[in-house]
């Protein structure tokens, strides 16, 4: 399977970076073709410009500022996201990826505004590996936007046909070496059996 891994963390020595490395390693060992998109390493610009916003609905010209990322998304059969949760949301870099790449003509068909159609129907599998500083109940109380974006919004953009799983390590602020090791092992197993 062609898997687009989208990683978003600025620190190469972080626990998130270790999880990302494990994801890529296990997917490759399982025989998948991996396109590893490290948003920070690639200096992805998360800011939508005035010109982009003005041309947002001009399909297909709206793709030009992020054409490489659009092409990589279109080539994928599966998506795996690796990121931390900050302020109960996506990191700004990843939010910018969603804003700039998941646009009309790419992620959805807006030609009939009364009947918006999904355009990521080629994506059959979605997974996420996510860390949170606070406990699960706090994320739940805040509505857990990252979980909903991955498990609901992205699934909607695939036409509801994709299988989605979400691997979360909550309460990183009090994580122990044991809890970190156990979560990494869980992620490793999930990627080794990714299908």
For 13-54, the pLDDT digits (tens) are: 999 999 999 999 999 999 999 999 999 999 999 999 999 999
Mean pLDDT (whole number) for 98-127: 97
Query: Spelled out in words, what is the top-level CATH class assigned to the domain 2-192?
Result: alpha beta
Q: What is the mean pLDDT of the chain?
A: 97
Query: Are the beta carbons of 77 and 125 closer than 8 angstroms?
Result: yes
The per-residue pLDDT for 142 is 95
Mean pLDDT (whole number) for 81-95: 97
**What band does 128 get if pLDDT is binned at 50, 70 and 90?**
very high
Mean pLDDT (whole number) for 87-115: 96
Rounded to the nearest 10°, the torsion over CA 68, 72, 73, 74 is 100
Mean pLDDT (whole number) for 137-161: 96
Mean pLDDT (whole number) for 118-132: 98
> Could you tell me the residue ranges of all domains in the chain?
2-192
List own/partner pairs for 138-145 with CB under 8 A and 24 or more apart.
138/88, 139/85, 139/88, 139/170, 142/88, 143/88, 144/88, 145/88, 145/89, 145/90
Residue 102 in tokens: 């998941």
Residue that the structure tokens 């646009």 belong to: 103
């Amino acid at each position: 399977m062609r898997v687009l891994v989208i990683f978003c963390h600025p620190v190469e020595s972080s626990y998130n970076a270790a999880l990302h490395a494990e994801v890529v390693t296990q997917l490759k060992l399982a025989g998948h073709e991996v396109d590893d998109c490290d948003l920070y390493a690639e200096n992805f610009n998360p800011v939508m410009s005035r010109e982009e916003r003005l041309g947002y609905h001009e399909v297909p010209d709206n793709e030009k500022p992020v054409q490489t990322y659009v092409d990589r998304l279109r080539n994928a059969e599966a998506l795996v996201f690796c990121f931390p949760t900050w302020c109960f949301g996506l990191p700004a870099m990843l939010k910018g990826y969603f804003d700039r790449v998941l646009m009309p003509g790419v992620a959805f068909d807006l030609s009939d505004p009364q009947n918006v159609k999904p355009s990521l129907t080629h994506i059959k599998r979605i997974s996420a590996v996510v860390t949170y500083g606070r406990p699960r109940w706090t994320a739940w109380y805040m509505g857990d936007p990252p979980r909903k974006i991955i498990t609901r919004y992205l699934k909607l953009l695939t036409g509801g046909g994709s299988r989605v799983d979400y691997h979360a390590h909550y309460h990183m602020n009090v994580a122990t070496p044991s809890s970190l090791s156990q979560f990494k092992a869980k992620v490793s197993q999930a990627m080794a059996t990714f299908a």
